[in-house]
Amino acid sequence: MKRTLIAGLALSTLLTHNALAFDFGSVMQAVAPMADAGLSTNPLVGNLTKNLGVTPTQAIGGSAALLNDAKKDMKPADFQALTTKMPQVGTLMAAAPASTGTVQSQFASLGMKPEMIGKFTPFLLDYVKSGTTPGMMNLVQAALAN
């Protein structure tokens, strides 16, 4: 009986010590790309991760931040036309964490510097252009410029 109690106490101490040393932030960073695996075949996510060296989570979150920013300055019918023509835009936006604050603060919360916004934008515009029309790309570009 004493051995069982001592073994249980030792196991409890070991588990408690390991739990205290457990870094939940690292686990979330490791799990996030798996959660984004459904978007791993998205050309925009692929281009951003390949060319800018960002994680899939950063690619999705940064793209969603820019798309949400564009949405604010686009006519609702124009944005609806974009998401109808390119349903992947809605999927990207839905997969990202809730967007609050400025685009800069959203990029910062994803661990990216403000200059990454300018690096993301051409990839996003090319993506929109490839899935819609140059006219739609121009509407998104104008909205992002505001």
Q: pLDDT tens per residue, the chain (146 residues)?
A: 444 444 444 444 444 444 444 332 333 344 344 344 467 689 999 999 999 999 999 999 999 999 999 999 999 999 999 999 999 998 988 887 776 789 999 999 999 999 999 999 999 999 999 999 889 999 999 999 98
Residue 6: inside a domain, yes or no?
no
Task: Output the pLDDT for position 117.
Answer: 96
Cα separation of 63 and 95, whole Å?
10
Domain count, the chain: 1
Residue 14: inside a domain, yes or no?
no
Residue 32: inside a domain, yes or no?
no
Residue that is written with structure tokens 């051995």 in the block: 3
Long-range contact list for 51-57, CB < 8 A, 24+ apart?
51/123, 52/116, 52/119, 52/120, 52/123, 54/112, 54/116, 55/29, 56/32, 57/29, 57/32, 57/33, 57/110
Nearest 10 degrees: Cα torsion 127, 107, 112, 126 = 10
Residue 59: inside a domain, yes or no?
yes
The domain of 47 spans 40-145
Residue 20: inside a domain, yes or no?
no
